Amino acid sequence: MRIRLTAAILFIAAMLSVSCSDEDEERQPEWFPLRVGARWIYDAIADSVISTQDINGHTYYELAGYSLLWRGSLVRMNDLGQLMILGGDSEQVFFDFNAPAGSNWTLTSPHGPYQVSVENRNLPNVVVPAGTFSGCYEFIFQSPAIDNSWHFIVAPQVGVVFKEGGFGFTYRLVRADL
């Protein structure tokens, strides 16, 4: 009887540890594969992760190029599903992948403030030269200071696949080496 009880307890403990494992939890997609050497090639520009820097207990990835709003950005993904960008001594939300459609916040850039809004959380069939992407987020960055808005479409596990604005520029992802 004691052996059966011990076996039953061990069986229940094993089942609980399996059912509570990370495998069963719904995982957030990796929106930006931030690794040194990752590259995104667009129609007219390229961007890449060229280094990491440890600042205030966080690892930031340095982007070379202009796939975001300004060159030499230091970024990281936080545990809340937000792409954070470091500007001076402060960290700001660049993209928020958990914000509902219609959410907005202010981002201060070297070019002035932008009002950022989540336009769509699940765009189907975004077609660019690199392929067709679904489940994409759409963000709008509007500058109140100048007529300079940006439109970003971000695909899970890839990053920015489409960007337009900035006085008529359009960048479509041609290839990603991740």
The predicted-structure confidence for 158-172, as pLDDT tens digits, reads as follows 999 999 987 788 999
- pLDDT, residue 71, reads 67
CATH classification at residue 92: 2.40.360
3-state secondary structure at position 166: coil
DSSP label at residue 56: T
Q: How many domains does the chain have?
A: 1
Give CA separation, 170 vs 13, 39, 42, 59, 130, in Å: 55, 18, 9, 30, 15
- 89 vs 3, higher pLDDT: 89
Q: How far apart are CA 49 and CA 29, in angstroms?
A: 19
pTM for this predicted structure:
0.80
